[in-house]
Structure 1
């Protein structure tokens, strides 16, 4: 997983990063709330760990900004020396998913992170995943749309599954290169743009099928589920326009 850590004590931050990297996680550490928020809004993370007392703002303020500005419920763990009942209640009420007092024991920290990840992605272990009219078979690596098999390459499948598993999340080109292609972040990102354009057509990602890939200028892409009522309104408007044309022609 990609984890963002808010911790102003360098020694503590390095200790946590070491624990997580040994378990195969990538952890970016930030000593200030503003630096953390800037990264959180422009990069893609799977989980966040927040300290309470930091130089420029509180962890609670950071959490509230995250919940207000990131449009998917990213798991958040508070890791702090404050451990009174009122502190725990305040953090949970502000949107934290779990609370752990310092000093963190390595095994417990990892176990809590894994538990949060499982709750955030309950479909990861299922063989058949359904997203609206799309049915994804993770074992056979096939995707059906309205019951009809789609013709996709292996990379098409990997990218599609990653997009569906990260709905509503901003995914930068660098993250897609790293997580789907397994390539370094500093190579030409036109690979992603070309593939994404082709994938839109192959998957039929349009309002009628309930999903669209939105391009976020200079940042990346986001798979969005289209609201049924919006789709219906668009179709109704089209039907009314067609009827009007027919009347005029008559």
Structure 2
């Protein structure tokens, strides 16, 4: 997973990054609320870890901003020295998914993160996924639309599955290259744009089928279920790659 960590103590941040890296996770650390929010709201992360007491704002302020501005329920863990019942309740009420007091036990921290990842992506264990008129068979690697089998390349299938499993979430080009193509994030390529353009046509992502791929300028893409208002808007405005 790609994890964003809010921690202003350098040694503590390095320690947590080391723990997560050893378990196969990628963790970016940020020392302030503003730097953390700038990254989280413009990049793609799978999970957030927040400290409560940071120099420029509180962890609660950061959490409330994340919940207000992100379009998908990214899992959030508090990792802080504050351990009173009132603090725990306040964080959970504000939208945190879990709460750990420092110093965290390494195995417990990793176990809780992995548990949150499983709860956030329950579809990952299913063989057949249904999204409106789309039926995706993860074992047969096939996609059916309105009862008809679609002809897709292996990479198109991988990209389609990843889009639907992350519906409503901003997916940067770098993240898609990393997760779908297995390429380094700093590679400059239009491969993602080419595949997205093709998928729009091959999947019939239009008002009739209830979904669209929205281009987020200079950031990436988001698969959206189309509301009544969005369907009306699409009659006059179309997304361009």
Compute the displacement of 1:187 (Å): 2.2
Q: How many angstroms apart in 1 are the aligned matches of 2:139 and 2:195?
A: 23
In structure 2, the CA distance between the partners of 1:120 and 1:232, relative to structure 1 (3 Å rule), is same
Aligned to 1:210: 210
Q: How many angstroms apart in 1 are the aligned matches of 2:45 and 2:231?
A: 34
Compute the displacement of 1:207 (Å): 1.1
Note the 1:169-180 alignment, pairs <5 A: 169-180=169-180
1:165 aligns with 2:165: yes
Aligned to 1:199: 199
TM-score (norm 1): 0.91
Aligned to 2:122: 122
Contact 1:174 1:189 in 2 (8 A): no
In structure 2, the CA distance between the partners of 1:53 and 1:158, relative to structure 1 (3 Å rule), is same
Aligned to 1:244: none
In structure 2, the CA distance between the partners of 1:199 and 1:9, relative to structure 1 (3 Å rule), is same
Q: How many angstroms apart in 1 are the aligned matches of 2:70 and 2:100?
A: 23
Contact 2:3 2:48 in 1 (8 A): yes
In structure 2, the CA distance between the partners of 1:12 and 1:196, relative to structure 1 (3 Å rule), is same
TM-score (norm 2): 0.94
SS at the partner of 1:4? strand
Note the 1:178-189 alignment, pairs <5 A: 178-189=178-189
Aligned to 1:94: 94
Aligned to 1:61: 61
Note the 1:136-151 alignment, pairs <5 A: 136-151=136-151
Contact 1:208 1:231 in 2 (8 A): no
Compute the displacement of 1:188 (Å): 2.6
Contact 1:81 1:103 in 2 (8 A): yes
What stretches of structure 1 move > 3 A for 4+ residues in a row?
A: 229-235
Structure 1 residues not aligned, in runs of 5+: 239-250
Compute the displacement of 1:234 (Å): 7.7
Aligned to 1:40: 40
Compute the displacement of 1:186 (Å): 2.3
In structure 2, the CA distance between the partners of 1:80 and 1:172, relative to structure 1 (3 Å rule), is same
Aligned to 1:245: none
Structure 2 residues not aligned, in runs of 5+: 237-241
SS at the partner of 1:29? strand
In structure 2, the CA distance between the partners of 1:138 and 1:61, relative to structure 1 (3 Å rule), is same
Contact 2:6 2:51 in 1 (8 A): yes
1:132 aligns with 2:128: no
Compute the displacement of 1:110 (Å): 0.8
1:108 aligns with 2:104: no
Q: Cα RMSD over matched residues?
A: 1.6
Decide which structure has greater helix share.
Answer: 1
Q: How many angstroms apart in 1 are the aligned matches of 2:187 and 2:167?
A: 25
In structure 2, the CA distance between the partners of 1:22 and 1:154, relative to structure 1 (3 Å rule), is same
When Rg is computed on C-alpha atoms for both structures, the one with the higher figure is: 1
Paired positions, count: 236
